[in-house]
Amino acid sequence: MLKKIGYGALAALLIIQFIKPARNISDAPTPNDISNKYAVPADVAAILKTTCYDCHSNNTRYPWYANIQPVAWWLADHVDEGKREINFNEFLSYKPKKAHHKMEEVAEMVNEGEMPLQSYTIVHRDASLSDAQRKLLADWALGVMQEIATEHNLGKKDSTATH
């Protein structure tokens, strides 16, 4: 009986190898990329590319194990979730209030050490951030947030309103 269960499990494992999720890879232009409107200094761009873009852009660098099911499904779900939170390639499509809030979250998550995820940095050691890199990235996000607030008059009360 255990032998039959083992063969069944092995057959299922082999069959699921042919059911592959779509990959997050795009050669399409990115007119809504954050860098098309807001300054992204080279040192910040390098951090974003190494640490953030696998989950928060339209292009993921896939490791070898992304070809094995069910790992590929888990990675696809993780990338989809990351892109729902913030996608730097689609940032300019966000409404100003949402964009402002997303930059606030970036600064907060980086400052609190919640991003990048520990599960990501275990495998991608180059994505671990030093304190100086955390500060640089968080300060940049706060700067973009301030630009958005200034440009769209966010967080300021209407001085013409009567009380």
Give the pLDDT confidence of 58-101 residue by residue, as tens digits: 999 988 888 899 989 988 999 999 999 999 999 999 999 999 99
Q: Is residue 148 part of a domain?
A: yes
The per-residue pLDDT for range 3-43, each reduced to its tens digit, is 889 888 888 777 778 888 889 899 888 999 999 999 999 99
Specify the 3-state DSSP secondary structure of 25: coil
Q: 70 is written with which tokens?
A: 């069910």
Q: Is residue 85 part of a domain?
A: yes
Determine the pLDDT at residue 33.
96
Q: Is residue 17 part of a domain?
A: no
Q: Is residue 72 part of a domain?
A: yes
Determine the pLDDT at residue 163.
40
- Whole-angstrom distance, CA of residue 130 vs CA of residue 37: 27
Q: Is residue 76 part of a domain?
A: yes
What is the domain extent for residue 123?
A: 22-152
- pLDDT band per the 50, 70, 90 thresholds, residue 53: very high
The per-residue pLDDT for range 99-153, each reduced to its tens digit, is 999 999 999 999 999 999 888 888 888 889 999 999 999 999 999 999 999 999 9
In 3D, which of 136, 120, 125, 124 has the Cα closest to residue 47? 136
- Hey, what's the torsion of the CAs at 56, 51, 18, 73, to 10 degrees? -60
Q: Is residue 32 part of a domain?
A: yes
Residues 52 and 88: beta-carbon distance below 8 Å:
yes
Q: Is residue 92 part of a domain?
A: yes
Q: Is residue 97 part of a domain?
A: yes
Q: How many independent structural domains does the chain possess? A: 1
